[in-house]
Structure 1
Amino acid sequence: MTTLYGMIDSGNCYKPRLLMAKLGIPFANVEVSSHTGDTRRPDYVAKNPNAMVPLLELDDGRRIAESNAILLYLAEGTRFLPEDRYERAMAYQWLFFEQYSHEPYIAVRKALLIFPERAKDATPERLAATLERGNKALGVMNQHLARNDFFAGNACSVADIALYAYTHTADQGGFQLDAYPAVTAWLKRVETDPGHVPIEWLP
């Protein structure tokens, strides 16, 4: 059986869990927490030298790291990866945006505020910088979603799953989602897509 190594409270780990739930793909979930040092254990580093989660281990023992790479693998040949060349490029565009312009600020600010081991890094300067850049990312999303229901084409795709994972809990990082009405409407559309499960869901 396919195995997913991850953390229940991580948005990056939620992404493949959510997609596998939507696709009806059975998998075993193995909790590997960076909070307790599990990701740095020799047996786990042997599987993923980057010492991070999520990590997908296939039935034949091959492994895929990085959340958005896992999404692309799982979505191949499904409704979550557009067939149209341009729409597929848009999905890639927003996946890159999520990792470069969204997650480093929205997810990181939340982590700085809620995880005790990160408190030492929550300087006023860093909190201000992550708030500014996170709001910029939400503004870019809001502008797109004011004209489009989803991020790549007319249906939910891997881009929406990737961006949903940390956006739906952005308020825990101090972001005011009410200031982005197109984003809040999109969150509801993603949540009504068939097969949706909450971040706490496990198989």
Structure 2
Amino acid sequence: MKIYGDRQSGNSYKLLLVTSFLEIPYEWIDIDIRKGETKTDSFLQMNPNGKIPVLIWNDGRILSESNAILNFLAEGSYLIPKDNFERAKMFQWQFFEQYSHEPYIAVARFISHYLGIPEERRAEYESKQVGGHKALQVMETQLTKTMFLVGDFMTTADISLFAYTHVAHEGGFDLSLYPKILDWIKRIQSLDKFKPMNSF
């Protein structure tokens, strides 16, 4: 299979992590967002939404949206709960990631880490801090109760939220305010077959 993505993108890193944890072979194709490579005709034929990552399966079928690809790759593994309610909780956290976490933390990181907080985006950057801290507090509250987000076992929900949370400091978020999140990050980093973002 082929995966189109950016190695510094949290949404792409989700897939790099799951392929490492589950030892799934793949061909990686680098896409540079800042050079407009997601807006080319050839890319838009794969994903009309013009976003990474994109997976092309062995038989030519195409899948987009990072969490959909992540769950597809992890299907049947220890990362997908067999219990219906636990699986629904996994999806709950992934919806939370896309709607209440990523729009704040990932965007703040992009403005700060990649753009250097240009003056014309400073107000946007500052507005993202409030939503980002709210999302981090929700995670912190859960992680005072359980080792991982769904329970005392890892799921794809943890991969989804780890991707941008562990680099939230690059978006101006002080993770020392969230000791349970820091413990959770270390817990994931200590797992067998874990690889950091800059190692792929």
TM-score using structure 2 length? 0.96
Counterpart CA distance in 2 for 1:56 and 1:117 is: 31
Counterpart CA distance in 2 for 1:174 and 1:123 is: 12
Aligned mate of 1:180, from 178, 181, 186: 178
| Aligned residue runs from structure 1 range 77-116, under 5 A | 77-116=76-115
1:38 maps to what in 2?
Answer: 37
Q: Measure how far apart 1:73 and its partner are.
A: 0.4
CA RMSD of aligned residues (A): 1.3
Aligned mate of 1:137, from 135, 138, 148: 135
**Structure 2 counterpart of 1:52, one-letter code:** K
Aligned mate of 1:196, from 181, 194, 197: 194
Deviations 1:15-45 (A, max 9, x none): 0110011100010000011111111111111
| SS of structure 1 residue aligned to 2:148 | coil
TM-score using structure 1 length? 0.95
Q: Measure how far apart 1:56 and its partner are.
A: 0.7
**Structure 2 counterpart of 1:31, one-letter code:** D
Counterpart CA distance in 2 for 1:118 and 1:52 is: 22
**Structure 2 counterpart of 1:129, one-letter code:** S
Q: In the superposition, relative to structure 1, how do residues 118 and 179 fare at CA in structure 2: closer, same or farther (>3 Å)?
A: closer
Runs (4 or more) in structure 1 with deviation over 6 Å come to none
Counterpart CA distance in 2 for 1:86 and 1:197 is: 30
Deviations 1:140-174 (A, max 9, x none): 00000011000113211100000000000000111
Q: In the superposition, relative to structure 1, how do residues 9 and 81 fare at CA in structure 2: closer, same or farther (>3 Å)?
A: same
Counterpart CA distance in 2 for 1:119 and 1:85 is: 46
**Structure 2 counterpart of 1:197, one-letter code:** K
Alignment check: 8 A CA contact 2:21 2:192 kept: yes
Deviations 1:80-119 (A, max 9, x none): 0101111111100000000000000001001011223973
| SS of structure 2 residue aligned to 1:200 | helix
> Where do 5+ consecutive residues of structure 2 fail to align?
none
Aligned residues: 200
Alignment check: 8 A CA contact 2:117 2:125 kept: no
Alignment check: 8 A CA contact 2:3 2:53 kept: yes
> Where do 5+ consecutive residues of structure 1 fail to align?
none
2:144 maps to what in 1?
Answer: 146
**Structure 1 counterpart of 2:70, one-letter code:** L
Counterpart CA distance in 2 for 1:122 and 1:105 is: 14
Counterpart CA distance in 2 for 1:100 and 1:201 is: 28
Identity of aligned residues (%): 40
Alignment check: 8 A CA contact 2:6 2:30 kept: yes
Q: Measure how far apart 1:182 and its partner are.
A: 0.5
2:63 maps to what in 1?
Answer: 64
| SS of structure 1 residue aligned to 2:35 | coil
1:52 maps to what in 2?
Answer: 51
Counterpart CA distance in 1 for 2:74 and 2:130 is: 33
| SS of structure 2 residue aligned to 1:64 | strand
1:20 maps to what in 2?
Answer: 19
